[in-house]
């Protein structure tokens, strides 16, 4: 297994240790690994609205607007 070192304040280290124990993790490291897996999954999850827009664009189901109209609207 690869190793990554991270410096954290003492208070955060204590909170991680206490939470890991309370949630019955084998160690604080296992708790941190699980938290990282969950955060990575969340960060890599596609926003359903953006996915729908991308599908519509790919299918050609989009509205076009003249750039001059856009500029005029926001002037």
- Residue 69 resides in a domain: yes
- Residue 42 resides in a domain: yes
- Residue 1 resides in a domain: no
> Residue 54 belongs to what domain range?
10-74
- Residue 43 resides in a domain: yes
Cα pseudo-dihedral 42, 43, 45, 46, rounded to 10: 140
- Residue 3 resides in a domain: no
- The rounded percent of the chain whose pLDDT value lies above 70 is 100
Q: Considering its fold, how many domains does the chain have in total? A: 1
- Residue 5 resides in a domain: no
What digits encode the pLDDT tens for the residues 51-70?
888 888 889 887 788 888 88
Helix axis angle for 10-22 and 28-44, nearest 10°, is: 90
């Amino acid at each position: 297994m690869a190793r990554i070192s991270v410096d954290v304040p003492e208070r955060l280290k204590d909170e991680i240790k206490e939470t890991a124990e309370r949630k019955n993790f084998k160690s604080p490291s296992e708790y941190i690994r699980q938290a990282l897996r969950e955060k990575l999954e969340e960060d890599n999850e596609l926003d359903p609205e953006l996915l729908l827009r991308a599908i519509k664009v790919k299918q050609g189901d989009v509205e076009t607007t003249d750039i001059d109209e856009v500029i005029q609207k926001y002037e």
